[in-house]
Amino acid sequence: MSLRNNRAVLLAAAASVLLVAGLALALFWAPEDADQGFSQRIFYIHVPVALTAYACFAWGAWKALRLLWTREPHYDLESYTAVHMGVIFGVLTLVTGSVWAKISWGVWWTWSERQLTLFLVLFLFYCAYFMLRFSVEPGPRRANLSAVYALFGVALIPVSFLAIRLGERFIHPVVFRRDGPALSGSMLFVFCVCLAAMLALFASLYTNELTGKRLDARLRELREALE
């Protein structure tokens, strides 16, 4: 098991180094944005968190597909943990996104920000994932149901993004539109560091949480064996 522990330690170390570097660069070193000034710096946390959330859901769906394909039960726990991380990053995206909306347009919520709306839909969808999981007895049946639902989730992401774009024409006339700040060389570098930091954070928390859940399962087995 030593390899796995080393990997966890390595991931945690990489995550913390990258996070500190990313935050420092984003807050102090990155050049001031021409029109948005200091508030543009939220970009360095909002977008990486959003992209990491997508990565979590994709990873959860990949593990779900593996479960349905190979029927090995351990994939269920991995898919569940990845989706769980995805919802945490999703909530963070919603929070940082609404702060950005407050800064840029003075409103805590705007429907015309496509990504924000998409995350709201995904948030509802994946909360239902947990509702489904908690209302089925643990076992192969629950694993299959969760896996199928996770696959639907990843199919829903592009479809509802398209729907939101299509919906803009008649649901909510586009009042605020930002086409993403023009990224100069150094800004792009800072953005990449922050993105790497968030992905490393996901990997690290994911590995730890998975180990914790496996420990729970093993202890339950041990308890049954001893009783």
Partner 1 sequence: MKRVLRDLDLEVEEGGFLLVTGPNGSGKSTLLALLAGLLAPTEGTLDVDLPRGRIGYLAHEPLVYRELTALENLDLYGRLYHVRERRETIGALLERFGLWEARHQRVGSFSRGMQQRLALCRVLLHDPALLLLDEPYSALDESARGLVDELLRETSGGRTVVVASHEPDHVRPLSTSILALA
Partner 2 sequence: MTTSEKYVTGAYLVVLAVILLYVVLYSLKLARLEREVAELTELARRRQVA
Partner 3 sequence: MTYFADVAALARKDILLELRSRDTLPAMLLFVLSALVVFHFSLPSDASETASTGLLWIALLFTALLGLARAFAAERDQRVLDGLVLAPCDRSAIWLAKSLGVLAFLGLAEAVALPAYALFFQPVGWELVAAIVLADLGLAAVGTLLAAMAAASRARELLLPLLFLPLVIPVVVGGVGATVVDDPGRYLGFLALYDAIFAILSWASFEYVVAE
The answer to the question of residue 137 lying near partner 1 (CB under 8 A) is yes
The answer to the question of residue 179 lying near partner 1 (CB under 8 A) is no
Query: Per CB under 8 A, which of residues 99..128 are in contact with partner 3?
Result: 121-122, 124-125, 127-128
Of 73, 174, 188, 192, the one binding partner 1 (CB under 8 A) is 73
CA distances from 112 to 39, 98, 105, 189 (A): 20, 12, 11, 28
Contacted entry of partner 3, partner 2, partner 1, none for residue 147, CB cut-off 5 to 8 Å set by kind: partner 3
Query: Per CB under 8 A, which of residues 13..72 are in contact with partner 1?
Result: 71
CA distance 199 to 196: 5
The answer to the question of residue 20 lying near partner 3 (CB under 8 A) is no
Helices 185-226 and 74-105, interaxial angle, to 10°? 140
Of 37, 140, 158, 212, the one binding partner 1 (CB under 8 A) is 140
The answer to the question of residue 7 lying near partner 1 (CB under 8 A) is no
- The string of DSSP letters for 158-206 reads HHHHHHHHHHTTTTS------------HHHHHHHHHHHHHHHHHHHHHH
- Asked if 6 and 188 touch (Cβ cutoff 8 Å), the reply is no
**φ, ψ for residue 37, nearest 5 deg:** 65, -145
CA distance 74 to 90: 25
Contacted entry of partner 1, partner 2, partner 3, none for residue 152, CB cut-off 5 to 8 Å set by kind: partner 3
- Asked if 109 and 170 touch (Cβ cutoff 8 Å), the reply is no
Query: Per CB under 8 A, which of residues 37..56 are in contact with partner 3?
Result: none
Contacted entry of partner 2, partner 3, partner 1, none for residue 192, CB cut-off 5 to 8 Å set by kind: none
| Shortest CB 158 distance to partner 3, Å | 9
The answer to the question of residue 135 lying near partner 3 (CB under 8 A) is yes
Helices 74-105 and 140-167, interaxial angle, to 10°? 30
Of 27, 152, 186, 215, the one binding partner 3 (CB under 8 A) is 152
CA 24, 176, 180, 56: dihedral to nearest 10 degrees?
Answer: 70
The answer to the question of residue 218 lying near partner 1 (CB under 8 A) is no
Query: Interface with partner 1 by CB under 8 A: which residues?
Result: 71, 73, 137-140, 224
